[in-house]
Amino acid sequence: MTNSDLLTYCMSKRGAEQSVHSDWKATQIKSNGVLFAMVHEVKGRPAVSLKSTPALAELLREEHNDIFPSQHLNKSHWSTLYLDGSLKDSQIYYLVDASFDQIATVK
């Protein structure tokens, strides 16, 4: 998956807006002002940081070498995953949906 593919998918979510976080050299995707995805590079590789429940984050990190705690975000809720790693596109899209669903319920 490419950054462009991922950004297109994220921007298709209801209320999605993107901005650049210059300190982190990242594109943030928010809905109603709440962050649900951050597209950036880690060690020269394309990556995305996504929100999940702490239980899901722990499970994903145990099962996939290409998923690890996010550097700049709450490590219990936010995981970073490589877009060019072992995860299938369908798994990445599922995790984007799960992240969006997490913030969509926040009022």
pLDDT in tens, 70-86: 988 999 999 999 999 89
Per-residue pLDDT tens over the stretch 2-41 = 889 999 999 999 999 999 988 888 999 999 999 999 999 9
74: phi then psi, degrees, rounded to nearest 5: -55, 115
Strand, coil or helix: 3: helix
Judge whether 42 and 80 are in contact, CB under 8 Å. Answer: yes
Instruction: Tell me how far the alpha carbon of residue 102 is from its chain's centroid.
Output: 12
- pTM exceeding 0.85: yes
Judge whether 87 and 63 are in contact, CB under 8 Å. Answer: no
Residue at token pair 């991922």: 6
Using CA atoms, how far residue 10 sits from 13, 76, 84, in Å, is 6, 22, 17
